[in-house]
Amino acid sequence: MKPYQGYLILLYYIVLIIIGFLASKYIQFILSLALIYAIVAMGLVILIGYCGLISFGQGAFYAIGAYSVGLIYKYAHIENVEILFTIGIIAGTLISILIGLLCIRTRKIAFAMITLAFTMIIYTILLKFYYITGGTDGLRIPIVKIAGFIPFRGRELPISNEYFFIVAIFVVVLYLTTRIINSPFSYTLRMLRDAEVRAISLGISPSKAYLIAFTYSGFLGSIAGTLYAFLNAHIDPSLAYWTTSGEFVFITILGGISSIGGVILASIIYTFLKAYLIAYTAYYWQFAIGIMLLLIVFLSPKGISLIIDKTSRVFYKFIKLYKKTS
Amino acid sequence: MLETLVVTILFNTLIYTIILALISVGLNMILGVLKILNVAHGAFFALGAYTSVTLVKIFLTGGLPIFTTYIALILAGVLSGLIVGILIEPTILRRIYTRIEVYQLLVTYSLALIIEDLIKFIWGPEAKIINEPYLYLGTLNIGGVFYPTYYIFLIIVGSIILFTTYVFLNTTYLGKIIYATAFDKEISLTMGVNVNKIYTYSFIIGTMLTTLGGALMSPTLSLQPGFSSEYIVIAFAIIVIGGLGSVKGAFLASTITALARSITIIIFPELELAILFMIMVTVLLIKPTGLFGG
């Protein structure tokens, strides 16, 4: 890890906040949604890109994060955002450890399928035990308070409070994930992905490493889920449906599997494209996204990260040129 | 009381087995031969169902008697399967056999999205119902339980289709070549098998099975956009339980899950859908390759 990266992340925060001040409330909402998706996708980068494990079960932790917020509000009447947020993350992480212990015993397609099964189990539980979870009606998330007194949804401000909060969490997650990717642990994961038997013979425990990676992605999933609950103010079981998880995997692949910048860009492009396609074409947004996907797969095999790579290469060339001339 | 309970469970199991087997055997065949997990399979199922809506309507408005609509259902299944197979395999899927798994998933996922919206474009987003074939046959008293006779038709036709597929794969020359290609593509190629053609054939057969399933189910359903995503995920669960690529396993897994579901619906209805995935998790933990997987 380069020493200036910590400051770089502070810069991202300031840039995102400035963008928030310039943009309308609608754009802020969609951008917040994109950042939430990016948080989940970063967890999937660790899992898909670095472990080679395709998880179709991120929706499970997403829903657990969101529903623990909703249920705690409904039954314990706690309105403090910090408490709801913390409990949501703890619940999601604990369950991701439990599910992870079972899932990491499988690899490849079996892993994808077992994670899919778990998210569907969570979905059916949320759907069928409607006397607790509200069923398809979902749950309402109230106007929550920070530190007990500030209203979390300040409509009179030019920038919504959720946006501040989500951007702050996003930046912290971004910092954590880049730290993990640049740490020796990520090399352990890469070795396990490429040569598991060799890694075992060198004394690496695959189940331990995979469990940490899985728990981390579950942790990010539950963070995103709680944030989604605050942002959308309404949650329903479709958060745990397999298509939600499919969407996350899809964003990650679109971003080029192992590139953090790529998945963030991919989630922003995807969310904005979806929002505007729904606004203009109502029923046919999936068609446009499907065509776009086919084009990306056939024309740019590495996803959006290829575009980032190329532009950054051009950028570095300019820097070199600049250094030579000065 | 106990008698009616047993009859209900057995009959529900039978209906459910046929439907699940029609979807999952096709999916598993495509996975076994083409080595592609086809996410668009559920969309094909929907396409079969919607085609049968149109064909039955054409038959009825054309003044043909109602019993011909049963032919219309089967015709719709066969036709839509054939058209989809011929259109999609040589143009899109053939380009991705050498790519990594993730991209194959992505391509079939985008195909599913495109087909879902094409369905909305052609048939409109509102719910479609054709229950003429369903109502025409009336009900039947089986051991004190009243069942729509249409289900008997569904069971008979469905078993004929599945049995024909089984016989075709196991006894005919083409069926044996398909097995051989699934087992080892390179060796088949050196033995003079036209692998591209075999891939197209198996894709058409797999697709046709699911479109037939959709067409046969359509009179009992109210067709809405997006209803196929429920079926595809169940089909995934079944092929995982039965073993990836194994036709026999898919059929056995359909029976097991159908039985489990029929029993749970009576005993503990909240877990109706969850039981399927609980079986799936258990099988994956004990034998990650599934019951009949290699």
Q: Most B CBs within 10 Å: which of A118, A121, A248, as the mutation test of the B interface? A: A121
CB contact under 8 A, B109 and A257: no
Per-residue pLDDT tens digits for B191-201: 888 888 889 99
Q: Could you give the CA distance from residue A182 to residue A180 in angstroms, rounded to a whole number?
A: 5
| Nearest CA-CA distance, residue A323 and chain B, Å | 40
Instruction: Provide, as residue numbers in chain A, all residues whose Cβ is less than 8 Å from the Cβ of B101.
Output: 54, 108-109
A42 bridge partner residues: none
Q: Does B288 touch chain A (CB under 8 A)?
A: yes
pLDDT of residue A308: 63
The mean pLDDT value for A36-56 works out to 89
What is the average pLDDT score of chain A?
82
Q: Look up the ipTM and state it.
A: 0.81
A124:B244 CB<8 A: no
Tokens matching residue A311: 């532009």
> What local confidence, expressed as pLDDT, does residue A150 receive?
54
Query: Closest to B116 (Cβ–Cβ): which among A250, A253, A286?
Result: A286
Q: What is the structure's pLDDT at B270?
A: 77
Contact criterion met (CB < 8 Å) for B110 and A124:
no
Taking CA–CA distances from A103, the nearest residue in chain B reads: B285
The predicted model scores a pTM of 0.84
Q: Does B114 touch chain A (CB under 8 A)?
A: yes
Chain B residues with CB-CB distance to A125 below 8 A: 274
- Angle, in degrees to the nearest 10, between helices A242-254 and A260-281: 120
DSSP string across B88-129? HHHHTGGGGTTS-HHHHHHHHHHHHHHHHHHHHHHH-SS-B-
- What are residue B90's phi and psi, to 5 degrees? -70, -25
**In whole angstroms, what is the distance from residue B60 CA to residue B130 CA?**
11
Closest residue to A113, CB basis, from B92, B96, B240: B240
Q: Does B94 touch chain A (CB under 8 A)?
A: no
With residue A151 as reference, give the H or E element that holds it: strand A150-151
pLDDT cut 70: percent of chain A above it: 86
User: What pLDDT is attached to residue A305?
Assistant: 60
What tens-digit pLDDT sequence spans chain B (294 residues)?
777 888 888 888 888 889 888 888 888 888 888 888 888 888 999 998 898 888 888 888 887 777 778 888 888 888 998 998 888 888 888 888 887 777 788 888 888 888 888 888 888 888 888 877 777 777 877 777 788 888 888 889 999 998 998 899 889 998 888 888 888 888 888 888 888 888 999 999 999 999 999 888 888 888 887 788 888 888 888 888 888 878 888 888 899 888 888 888 888 877 878 888 888 888 888 887 778 866
Q: Does B281 touch chain A (CB under 8 A)?
A: yes
Check whether A138 has a pLDDT greater than 70. Answer: yes
Contacts of A105 in chain B (CB under 8 A): 285, 288
Please tell me which of the candidates B114, B237, B274 has its beta carbon nearest to residue A287.
B114
Which of B96, B117, B277 has the CB atom closest to A286's CB atom?
A: B117
Confidence of residue A302 (pLDDT cuts 50, 70, 90): low
What average pLDDT does the segment A115-136 reach?
Answer: 85
Q: Taking CB atoms and an 8 Å limit, are B106 and A129 in contact across chains?
A: no
Residues 41-60, chain B, touching A (beta carbon < 8 A): none
Strand B145-148 vs strand B139-142: parallel, antiparallel, or unpaired? antiparallel
- Looking at chain B, list the stretches that DSSP marks H as alpha helix, in order from N- to C-terminal side: 2-34, 41-61, 69-91, 101-123, 132-136, 149-171, 173-183, 185-190, 195-217, 228-242, 247-267, 274-286
Interchain CB distance below 8 Å, B277 and A124: yes
**Which residue in A252, A270, A262, A221 sits closest to A53, CA to CA?**
A252
Q: Which residues of B touch A290 (CB under 8 A)?
A: 110-114, 117
Does position A206 have pLDDT exceeding 60, yes or no? Answer: yes
Q: What is the identity of the amino acid at A197?
A: V
> Are residues B115 and B43 in contact, defined by beta-carbon separation less than 8 angstroms?
yes
Residue A63: what pLDDT? 92
Cα separations in angstroms, B24 against A252, A262, B260:
28, 36, 17
Residue A2's pLDDT is what? 59
Distance of CA A291 to the CA centre of its chain: 24
B120 closest CB neighbour out of A249, A284, A301: A284
Within 8 A of B269 by CB-CB distance, chain A residues are 128
CB pairs under 8 A between A and B: 123
Q: How many CB atoms lie within 10 A of CB B155?
A: 17
Cβ contact (<8 Å) for A287 and B113? yes
Interchain pair B281, A114: CB under 8 A = yes
The per-residue pLDDT for range B59-85, each reduced to its tens digit, is 888 877 777 788 888 888 889 989 988
> Cβ neighbours of residue A233 under 8 Å, at least 6 residues apart?
A140, A141, A142
Q: What pLDDT, in 10s, does the model give residues A269-297?
A: 889 888 888 888 777 778 888 888 788 77
Counts of helices then strands in chain A (DSSP H, E) = 14, 4
**Over 70: is that where the pLDDT of A37 sits?**
yes
Q: Which of chain A's residues have a Cβ under 8 Å away from the Cβ of B39?
A: 246
